[in-house]
Amino acid sequence: MPEAVPLGLDEYLAGGIRPRIIDAAAALFRQRGFNAVSMIEAGQAVGLSKPGLYHHWPNKEALLLSIVGITGALLLRQLEDVKAATADPEQRMRLFMRGRIAVVARHQDLFTVTWQERAILGSGSYSRLAATAERYRDSVRSLIDDAKEAGLIRPEVDTHLLMLAIDGMTGCAYFWYREQGALRPAEIGDAFRDMLLGGVADPGLPGPDIAAN
Amino acid sequence: MPEAVPLGLDEYLAGGIRPRIIDAAAALFRQRGFNAVSMIEAGQAVGLSKPGLYHHWPNKEALLLSIVGITGALLLRQLEDVKAATADPEQRMRLFMRGRIAVVARHQDLFTVTWQERAILGSGSYSRLAATAERYRDSVRSLIDDAKEAGLIRPEVDTHLLMLAIDGMTGCAYFWYREQGALRPAEIGDAFRDMLLGGVADPGLPGPDIAAN
Q: Alpha-carbon distance B122 to A37, whole Å?
A: 15
Bridge partners of A153?
B201
In the predicted model, is pLDDT for residue B207 greater than 60?
A: no
So what's the pLDDT on residue A205?
56
In angstroms, how far is the first alpha carbon of chain A from the final one? 63
pLDDT digits (tens, 9 = 90+) for A154-185: 999 999 999 999 999 999 999 999 999 999 99
Nearest to B145 by CA among B196, B190, B89: B89
Which pLDDT score is estimated for A187?
Answer: 97
| Structure confidence at residue A10 as a pLDDT band (50, 70, 90) | very high
Residue B111: its pLDDT value, please? 97
Three-state DSSP at B199 gives coil
More confident position, A52 or A127: A52
Give the per-residue pLDDT at A2: 46
**What are residue A38's phi and psi, to 5 degrees?**
-95, 160
Please name the amino acid found at residue A109: D
End-to-end, the C-alpha distance of chain B in Å comes to 63
* pLDDT for position B40: 94
Chain A within 8 Å of B122 (Cβ-Cβ)? no
DSSP A71-92: HHHHHHHHHHHHHHH---HHHH
Q: Which of B30-34, B94-98, B127-131 has the lowest mean pLDDT?
A: B127-131
Say how many C-beta atoms besides its own lie within 10 A of residue B209's C-beta: 11
Q: Work out the minimum CA distance from A189 to partner chain B, whole angstroms.
A: 10
Length of chain A: 213
> Where does residue A213 rank: exposed (0-12), middle (13-18), buried (19+ CB within 10 A)?
middle
Give the residue-averaged pLDDT of A176-204: 94
Tens-place pLDDT, residues A44-63: 999 999 899 999 889 999 99
d(CA B142, CA B122) in angstroms, rounded, equals 30
CA gap B105, B175 in Å, rounded: 9
pLDDT in the model for residue A206:
52
- Tens-digit pLDDT profile for residues B132-156: 899 999 999 999 999 999 999 999 9
Tell me the pLDDT tens digit for each residue of A131-144.
Answer: 889 999 999 999 99
CA distance A210 to A202: 10
Cβ of B162 and A119 within 8 Å?
no
- pLDDT for B130 equals 85
pLDDT at B119 over 80: no
Q: For residue A4, what pLDDT band results from cuts at 50, 70 and 90?
A: low
Amino acid A213: pLDDT: 43
Average pLDDT score, chain B:
91
The pLDDT confidence band at residue B211, using thresholds 50, 70 and 90, is very low
- Confidence label for A1 from pLDDT (cuts 50, 70 and 90): very low
Residue B125, pLDDT > 70, answer yes
Task: Output the pLDDT for position A208.
Answer: 45
Q: What integer is the mean pLDDT of A76-91?
A: 97
The answer, yes or no, to whether residue B2 has pLDDT greater than 50, is no
Q: Which residue has the higher pLDDT, A213 or A15?
A: A15
B14–chain A nearest CA distance, Å:
30
Residue type at B58 in one-letter notation: P
Please answer yes or no on whether B165 and A192 come within 8 Å at the CB atom: yes
User: Across the interface, do A198 and B210 touch by the CB < 8 Å criterion?
Assistant: yes
Residue B1 in this model has a pLDDT that exceeds 50: no
Asked whether residue A127 carries a pLDDT value surpassing 80, the answer given is no
Which value, to the nearest 10 degrees, does the dihedral of the CA atoms of residues A35, B48, A123, B171 take?
80
Chain A residues with CB inside 8 Å of B196's CB? 165, 195-196, 199-200
CB < 8 Å to A90, chain B: 209-210, 213
Instruction: Answer whether B35 sits within 8 Å of A30, measured CB to CB.
Output: no
Q: Within 13 A of A183's CA, how many CA atoms are on the CB side?
A: 17
Spatial CB neighbours of B62, under 8 Å, sequence gap ≥ 6 = B4, B5, B6
pLDDT at B4: 57
Q: Is B192 on the interface with A (CB under 8 A)?
A: yes
Judged by a CB distance cut-off of 8 A, whether residue B167 touches chain A is yes
pLDDT number for residue B41:
95
Given CB atoms, is B87 within the 8 Å cutoff of chain A?
no
The answer to whether A67 touches A25, Cβ cutoff 8 Å, is: yes
- String of b and e for B131-167 (b: at least 16 CB within 10 Å)? ebbeebbebbeebbbbbbeeebbbeebbbbbbbbbbb
Partner-chain contact A153 B36, CB within 8 Å: no
- What pLDDT is recorded for position B205? 56
Give per-residue burial for A162-198: e unless 16+ CB within 10 Å, then b.
bbbbbbbbbbbbbbebeeeeebebbebbbbbbbbbbb
Whether residue A211 has pLDDT greater than 50: no
CA angle B95, B98, B104 (to 5 degrees): 125
Please compute the mean of the pLDDT values over residues B43-64 and round it to a whole number.
Answer: 92
Long-range contacts made by residues A138-143, C-beta under 8 angstroms, separation at least 24?
Answer: A139/A76, A139/A79, A139/A80, A139/A83, A140/A79, A140/A96, A140/A166, A140/A167, A143/A79, A143/A82, A143/A83, A143/A89, A143/A92, A143/A93, A143/A96
